[in-house]
Amino acid sequence: MTREGMERHQVWFYLAALVLGLLLGRAAPGLDGAAEASVWPVLAVLLYATFTQLPLTSVPAAFRDARFLGTALVGNFVLVPLLVWGLVQLAPPDPALRLGLLLVLLVPCTDWFITFTQLGGGDGARATALTPVSLLLQLALLPVYLWLLGGTPVTGVFTPGQVWPALLVLLGPLALAALTMRWAADRPRGRRLVDRLGAAPVPLLAVVILLVGVGHAEEIAGSGAVLRVVAVVSGLYLVGAVTLAVVLARLVRLPVPQGRTLAFSLATRNSFIVLPFALSLPAGWETAALVVVLQSVVELLGMIVLVRLVPGVLLRGVRPRRKAPAGS
């Protein structure tokens, strides 16, 4: 299957991986330890492959369109945190559940956001330019958000001994990807390698979800109440985020393609960037990692609707006329 085909049908890969992981975990409970240990190297490879697709060198170019960039940053880093805080108040007062929701809903997506922007008729160039800026800001601001909105100092949950593996899994691939892109910039063989890596994130994320399913099968099997909460909060988040995007796009008079890009930027969240931190939590906080995985599945199901709803109803534009065939 081509890269485009995998990206179009990725939600089914992830659902199948989750179901298979749960079945394996229930059938062979002894696999949980090996599965949890395997998540980390696979996640590192996933992040490396994803980061090689981000144009980190395009950060300066992103600042040239101040109107779009400013609107996207205000939406993602000012208005969305307020929306998330309000929605989390609807969840049961379970610290692990609420922390999982905060982790996964506070940070904008940097991978399939571009894919869904393109599928939904958005501006792929601006989505690509926004992505590295968004990544750098969310890494800096996430601890602040958790402290302000969660009501608990980050150090009260994430101790240095637990956080360093997550930071290593995140920052190591980021540094390696930057070196890879610099090396590949003027080498045809390097560019071919980066192109091939572009097909890796979907299957690798499916493997990560499978391993999480195997490692947490018992918890997930008894998580009906958690799933309902995540489904409701994530669904409300999608509605609220897209509404914010439509209002902002009209207030600042963004062109239609940029408005669609804004909608997908606010709607998609960075689940696997925060997954290492959720997995690094101490015993008793396993629900947080479960919330991250379940939210990503709910979000992907929502994207199936939004790639049609955003361009077809919410942010409609004039379709360009097709050129007549030569000689007609």
Tens digit of each residue's pLDDT (9 = 90 or more) over 178-219: 889 888 888 888 888 888 888 888 888 889 888 878 887 777
Instruction: Please check whether residue 72 is in contact with residue 129, taking contact to mean a CB–CB distance below 8 angstroms.
Output: no
Residue 49: is its pLDDT beyond 50? Answer: yes
Rg (CA), the chain: 20
Question: Residues 61-107: pLDDT tens digits?
Answer: 656 788 999 999 999 999 999 999 999 999 998 888 999 999 999 99
Q: Which residue has the higher pLDDT, 93 or 50?
A: 93
Residue 163: is its pLDDT beyond 70? Answer: no
Instruction: Give me the percent of the chain exceeding a pLDDT of 90.
Output: 25
CATH number of 8-314: 1.20.1530.20
Q: Which residue has the higher pLDDT, 158 or 219?
A: 219
Q: Which residue has the higher pLDDT, 241 or 38?
A: 241
pLDDT the model gives residue 216: 74
What value does the mean pLDDT of the chain take? Answer: 82
Q: Where are the domains of the chain?
A: 8-314
pLDDT the model gives residue 297: 78
CA angle 33, 209, 77 (to 5 degrees): 120
pLDDT the model gives residue 169: 73
CA end-to-end span of the chain: 35
- What's the pLDDT band for 129 if we cut at 50, 70, 90? confident
Residue 173: is its pLDDT beyond 90? Answer: no
Question: Residues 288-300: pLDDT tens digits?
Answer: 888 988 888 788 7
Cβ-based neighbours of 299, under 8 Å, separated by 6 or more: 234, 238, 267, 268, 269, 271
pLDDT the model gives residue 165: 67
Among 263, 290, 266, 268, which Cα is nearest to 279's? 290
Amino acid at 235: G
**For residue 44, what are the CA distances in angstroms to 168, 170, 176, 257, 274?**
9, 7, 11, 33, 12
The two three-digit tokens of residue 38, written as one number: 């395997």
- What's the pLDDT band for 248 if we cut at 50, 70, 90? very high
